[in-house]
């Protein structure tokens, strides 16, 4: 698989997981998130997938798209995966509410650009 095709697959994984996290968190406030362990764990997993896929995107693609906070996404994934006792749920909720919608739009734009190159 060519590097651009690999990147497209990882970007699709990121987009799919971001949309799932958005759907899972739709209509849920911070208290609802804190009190619903199933939803919280599902959202955490979706965010982990976003970070893991982001980690695998090539340097060329990440450098070409600074509108995506690659390091922040990967760092947040590392906290979720390895320091789960230290998860700041206020931060996680802010990511869901403020950052995730922008990420979805940015990923859709990047994927469209890649598809235009094919």
- List residues with catalytic annotation: 77, 82
- Residue 72's CB is within 10 A of a number of other CB atoms, namely 13
Listed in order, strand segments (DSSP E) in 1-118 are none
The token duo for 98 is: 């403020």
Closest residue by Cα to residue 106 from 58, 54, 52, 60: 54
């Amino acid at each position: 698989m060519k590097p651009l095709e690999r990147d497209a697959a990882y970007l699709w994984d990121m987009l799919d997981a971001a949309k799932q996290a958005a759907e899972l968190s739709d209509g849920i406030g911070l208290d609802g998130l804190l009190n619903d362990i199933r939803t919280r764990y599902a959202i955490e997993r979706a965010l982990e997938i976003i970070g893991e896929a982001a980690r695998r995107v090539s340097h060329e693609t990440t450098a070409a798209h600074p509108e995506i906070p690659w390091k922040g996404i990967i760092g947040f994934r590392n906290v979720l995966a390895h320091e789960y006792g230290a998860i700041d749920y206020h931060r996680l909720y802010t990511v869901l509410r403020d950052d995730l919608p922008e990420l979805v739009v940015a990923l859709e734009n990047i994927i469209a650009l890649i598809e235009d190159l094919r």
